[in-house]
Structures are given as structure tokens and as C-alpha cells.
Amino acid sequence: MILYPAIDLKDGNCVRLEQGDFNKQVIYQNSPLEVALEFEKSGAKVLHIVDLDGARTGERKNASIIKEIVQNTKLKIQIGGGIRSLESISFWLELGVERVILGTAAMKDRQLLEQAISTYGDRIIVGVDAKNSYVAINGWEESTNQDSFEFCKQLELLGVKTVVYTDISKDGMLSGPNIEAYKRLAEETNLNIIASGGVSTLNDLETLSQLNIYGAISGKALYEGKFTVEEALKCLQEELYRA
């Protein structure tokens, strides 16, 4: 299983929200590049970036910061937040980002999603953000009546290969991921599932790995020293070896 250290950007800072609430944010670092370099130094090969400003407004307010990370690290970066057009997808990929994550756009614009998959293949990831098992959009601030599990099945039929599935109630709470949701997704789809929200211990990583989950995103747990990147990578190597 792949560990994705996370950087959430808001107003140029590294922040974490609680349950997607923009009024409950903690600023951890004012130099996202330093954070990315530290992750890389610790052995990370990939990086998950969320542009929270973009998620709310659709604007690329943090583009210069992300460009700086791309140019100064060898990390393979996946980015989400406000990517709602083919032009925006092209912008990020040409900048040097490895993969882009469509969230709101995947839910609201089926034609765009199909065009993106047709053009860019597995460089397109879909972010499925779930609130009480229903998809939430527009920076998690708007709920829909779309069942998140059925939506994932629809995405697979459209040719999507990888999904970041976030249980919003778990995000930033350090309370453990929604294991039952990931177990169900692993059983009912053949998608590459990246687990997001609540990963707070090495045991959480082991449990997800045992479910054959493709990847796990960790942000707050790393920032608050619940475990280190080195410890997580060692844990996952040992888990893979035991499997």
C-alpha cells in the first residue's frame, strides 16, 4: 500500500481542517515547500496536495507554491481542489503534476469526466467525499442525494481507475478511518482505492493494507507526530512482507 503524505493549502499555508470545516483550521507551516522537502527526505515518493482555496472558488490561487514544489522535489504529485475544466487539467499536468483529482466536476459534469478519462487515462483520479455515505461537493460544503458507494461503481463503469474516498466525519479528527466503508469498496469494486480521513496510527495503515487498499493519505497524524513517514513506510514494508 502506498503512503501519501498530505499538504492542504489555504492562503499559502499548510493547514488542516476538522471535518472539512473552513472555520476549524490549524496552520502547521507557512512554507509548504519545506514540508514537501521534509517528506521527501524522510523517504516519501509521492505527495497528495489539496488546494482548499481552489476547492471553494475554482481559482488557482496557490499555483506558484505548487510549481515551487514540483520544481524543487522529485515527488510524484497528485493534486485536487477546484479542477473543473479540461483547461485546468491540462494546466496542472503541463506544470509537472503527475495526476489530477476531479471532485465536484466529476459529480456535476459527466461529459467533462468522460473527456478527461478519454484524453488523460489513469492520470485522472476522482475524489469521492462522503458525508453520511452521500457525496458532498464544492469543498465539502454542499451535500447531494448521491450514494457514495453507487457513485464509485458508476465511476468504474466509466473507466476511472483510481478513487480517493474520504469520509468527511473522520477527516482531521485522528479517530481512525471508516474501515467498513473501505472494506465494502474493496469487495464491491475493482477500483484502486486511496483512503483519506482519520488515519492516525500505524495500526490503521496495517488494517487498510490488509484490505488490499491501494493507498492511504495522512496529514494531521504526521504533523502532530502520531507517527513518522519513516515509521509508516517501514510498517507497510513489513506488512507487505507478511502478506
CA distance 235 to 227: 10
Q: Is 8 a catalytic residue?
A: yes
Residue 134 makes CB contacts below 8 A (sequence gap 6+) with 143, 144, 145, 146, 147, 148
CA distance 133 to 166: 10
Q: Which of 53, 109, 122, 129 is catalytic?
A: 129
CA distances, 112 to each of 4, 53, 144 (Å):
26, 21, 19
Q: Is 129 a catalytic residue?
A: yes
CA distance 105 to 168: 18
Cβ contact 53:32 at 8 Å = no
User: Which residue numbers are catalytic?
Assistant: 8, 129
